[in-house]
Amino acid sequence: MVHATSSILTQAKYLQIANATSEHPDNVSHQNQGTFPEIQSVLFNKVSPLHYKTRVHLSFSLTEEFRRHFVLIKGLIEFYRSKNFSFEYNAVQKGIEADIEVSQLSNLQLFFDSILSRLNDELKFKETLKIILDFENRYKLAQAEVYALFVKATSRIKEG
């Protein structure tokens, strides 16, 4: 009986191997070669690309400012994404991963630009809604106080 042994590499080990000097330069290209457009956004403090053949695997790490909005960002991405993009999410590390064709990098950049714009709109809306609700609560409280004074004043008239 022959036993085949296979070793499954963790992503970290795979990236270490891919980042090491490669015997097959056509299969893996390093991010510092500068031949591919970089994804840049204030959403991310770190973008780690791994190029292989005509594809690129990207790992995105949210900036501290946007980590608390991870669920909203994920929702916006999934709601507005095209069928050309597929994302994986790590809620614990507040990270996003994508595996796309290199030719789609520019479209992905535009997509993340639109997500940032929509996120800012959502956050402004949320802030404005909070102000409106606070105003309404203060108004209801003031209205209740005035109504209580009115009831008190009119009850004296009825008694007298």
In a domain, 95, yes or no: yes
In a domain, 143, yes or no: no
pLDDT digits (tens, 9 = 90+) for 111-130: 999 999 999 999 999 999 99
Q: How far apart are CA 110 and CA 97, in angstroms?
A: 17
Owning domain of residue 70: 11-120
Q: What is the mean pLDDT of residues 29-56?
A: 78
Q: What is the mean pLDDT of residues 24-32?
A: 42
In a domain, 134, yes or no: no
CATH code, domain carrying 107: 3.30.1360
More confident residue, 157 or 39: 39
Q: How far apart are CA 14 and CA 17, in angstroms?
A: 5
More confident residue, 70 or 11: 70
Single out the residue of 69, 88, 68 nearest to residue 78, CA to CA.
88
In a domain, 4, yes or no: no
In the block, which residue shows the tokens 């950049």? 109
Alpha-carbon separation of residue 150 from 37, 139, 157, 159 (angstroms): 69, 16, 11, 14
* Total of domains in the chain: 1
Averaged confidence pLDDT in the chain: 82
In a domain, 86, yes or no: yes
AA letter at 54 = T
pTM exceeding 0.85:
no
Q: How far apart are CA 160 and CA 150, in angstroms?
A: 16
What local confidence, expressed as pLDDT, does residue 79 receive? 97
For 32, list phi and psi in degrees, rounded to 5: -85, 5
AA letter at 18 = A
AA letter at 40 = Q
Q: Highest-confidence range of 4-13, 23-32, 40-49, 69-78, by mean pLDDT?
A: 69-78
pLDDT band at 35 (very low <50, low <70, confident <90, very high): low
Q: Based on C-alpha coordinates, what's the Rg of the chain?
A: 27
Assess contact for 55 and 101: CB atoms under 8 A.
Answer: yes
